[in-house]
Amino acid sequence: MSNYIIRLEEKKDYREVENLVRESFWNVYRPGCSEHYVIHMLRDDPAFVPELDFVMEQDGRLIGQNMFMKTVIEADDGREIPVLTMGPIGITPELKRKGYGKELLDYCLEKATEMGFGAVLFEGNIGFYSHCGFDYASKFGIRYHDLPEDADSSFFLCRELIPGYLDDVTGVYQTPQGYYVKDEDVEEFDKQFPPKEKKKLPGQLFD
């Protein structure tokens, strides 16, 4: 890892970042991917946090990105607890597993902490996120929306930014609506990018 900077995303970066995210997620979780369209839409969402919309740049090209959204935990005692959710986060394919993702995420979390946010929750693989201080959200007493009680929730992760922020909270986390996109809209948007083959691969979570 060398010679990189982390900075806020600018308008001029939008298409390069969308292409980066497309390359990064392509065929990883499903044949093709939807994340480039998701970020295209999220930037205009009222829950989007522009102060935490970061890109990683090396030798004049973008090699990573991450973004955050505001959401809430609907607490069992009736309160709404403001929290952040995160992603998509992506590193360009040829630089994966070299430490850039952890570097970028640690930086973003530091900035989110400085802004005063209390906790970050999202869906992800503990294998990577445990390196940045995340644990299973169930350990914090937070449940994932629409998930039966006996279902596996190990994909649902949490990190407090303010220690003890969730100490007296149990409740249900809500994924911001902006993350839900229609397959046909993704298909249409994807036509703006260079053709790329969709493949069914082992380990994908969705058809």
Ligand X SMILES: CC(C)(COP(=O)(O)OP(=O)(O)OC[C@H]1O[C@@H](n2cnc3c(N)ncnc32)[C@H](O)[C@@H]1OP(=O)(O)O)[C@@H](O)C(=O)NCCC(=O)NCCS
Q: Work out how close the CB of 125 gets to ligand X at its nearest, in angstroms, rounded to a whole number.
A: 5
Residue 156 sits in the site that holds ligand X (CB under 6 A)? no
> 130 vs 138, which CB is nearer to ligand X?
130
| Candidates 10-18, 109-117, 125-133, 199-207; binding stretch for ligand X (CB under 6 A) | 125-133
Per CB under 6 A, the list member of 10, 50, 99, 154 interacting with ligand X is: 99
Convert residues 53-92 into a mask of x (bound to ligand X by CB under 6 A) and - (unbound): ----------------------------------xxxxx-
Residue 133 sits in the site that holds ligand X (CB under 6 A)? no
> 43 vs 102, which CB is nearer to ligand X?
102
Residue 198 sits in the site that holds ligand X (CB under 6 A)? no
Residue 102 sits in the site that holds ligand X (CB under 6 A)? yes
DSSP of the chain: --SEEEEE--GGGHHHHHHHHHHHHTTTSSSS-SHHHHHHHHTTSTTB-GGG-EEEEETTEEEEEE-EEEEEEEETTS-EEEEEEE---EE-GGGTTSSHHHHHHHHHHHHHHHTT--EEEEE--HHHHGGGT-EEGGGGTEEETT--TTS--TTEEEEESSTTTTTT--EEE---GGG---HHHHHHHHTTS--------TT-S--
| Binding residues vs ligand X (CB under 6 A) | 24-25, 28, 87-91, 96-102, 124-125, 127-128, 131
